Amino acid sequence: MKDIAAILRGFGLVAVMGASAALTAAPVQAQGNRPVTVVVPFAAGGGTDITTRAMQEGMAKALDANVVVKNTAGAGGTIGVSEVARAKPDGTTLAMAPVGPLTTQPHLRELPYDVDSFDYICLAYSAPTVIAVRKDSPFTSLGDLVAYGKEHPGELTFAVQAIGSIPHIAGLGLADAAGIEMNYLPVNGDGPALKALLDGTADLFIPHVSFYSTNADQLKSLALLQADRLAEQPDLATAAEQGYALDFPIWGGLVAPAGLEDAVKGKLEAACKGAIDSKPFQDRMATLKQPSAYLGAGDFAAFVHEKYETNRKLLEKAGLLAK
């Protein structure tokens, strides 16, 4: 019987470990207030996840509460975001909601939430995208690419990381602005898109600038898709300089279920700003070569509503709107 007691103790320990594993992140220790859960609607290790985890400590300090990062992945980020839309608006459940689930997915299919289901706390990151080709590609500028595309309609193959994602919309925007036809090859994310370029099945794709910089060994940027050059990487030429006004950032920010009290919202907004301004966060962004960005609650809400409308128009033009 002694054996069994020992095993049960062991199993109890293992079960506790399992339960804490299910919470996924090690909560940052702090005293006082109720813990705050930030839902990341994608798997761990991606850009959204890393940015959120970089903010974890700063937010915990500012709020004097544990901050837990929870990954609820699935359906292009809509599962995690809808979970937060349904939560109680008491400031303890937030989502790091990226551009896709907030402003493109609601136009593509029926979702249990829309742009008005949330209170907007802050924009936490925004990075421009680039049009990337293989390092040894014959194209050296957007002009080369467009000229080739015009001569050989339908022969350029464009790798699309996800249907209705910002890179997809940016590619549609490019084809529309330049008057070229491309062959669209769907792949599952940035890694497979890079593979499609390297093995020669695709000619171009549109990653965010941080992914491009990490893989600059094997990639060449034809155009940065924002109005001005980046201070951090001034050598990347913009599309605007080359005659195409394409501006497609990938961004995300903290949102809460609609109906937050103003005082709670203000506290969360301040905590977000504090975390983003902190040195550890800025250092991490520098390592990732990701430009830092911030908008407060009011500006962020206006920004999301504006993007919601512009992206709807782009999707409508491409014939992708849900019927």
Spatial contact of 221 and 212, defined as CB atoms under 8 Å apart:
yes
Residue 217 binds to other proteins (criterion: CB under 8 A): yes
Q: Which two tokens stand for residue 81?
A: 């975001």
| Binding test (CB under 8 A) with other proteins, winner from 66, 72, 126, 161 | 72
CA nearest 63: which of 22, 121, 123, 126? 121
Give CA–CA dist 302/297, Å, rounded.
9
Nearer to other proteins by Cβ, of 238 and 278: the residue is 278
Q: How far apart are CA 14 and CA 280, in angstroms?
A: 34
| 35 within 8 A of 65, measured Cβ to Cβ | yes
Determine which residue in the list 30, 115, 216, 264 makes contact with other proteins, applying CB under 8 A.
Answer: 216
Stretch that binds other proteins, among 87-95, 241-249, 284-292, 309-317 (CB under 8 A): 284-292
Cα distances (Å, whole numbers) of residue 149 to 71, 145, 184, 196: 40, 6, 13, 19
Closest to other proteins by CB, 148 vs 303, is: 148
State which residue, 126 or 290, has the beta carbon closest to other proteins. Answer: 290
Residue 70 binding other proteins, by CB under 8 A:
yes
Q: How far is the CB of 68 from other proteins (least distance, A)?
A: 10
**What is the separation of C-alpha 164 from the centre of its chain, rounded to a whole number of angstroms?**
13
In the numeric block, which tokens belong to residue 110? 């029926």
Question: What CA–CA distance (Å, rounded) separates 308 from 285?
Answer: 26
Q: Is 282 in the site for other proteins (CB under 8 A)?
A: no
- Exactly one of 30, 75, 177, 240 binds other proteins (CB under 8 A); that residue is 75
The answer to whether residue 53 forms part of the interface with other proteins (CB under 8 A) is yes
Binding site for other proteins (CB under 8 A): 3-4, 7-8, 10-11, 14-15, 17-19, 21-22, 24-26, 39, 43-46, 49-50, 53-54, 56, 69-76, 78-79, 82-83, 108-112, 157, 163-164, 183-188, 191-192, 194-195, 198-201, 214-218, 284, 287-288, 320
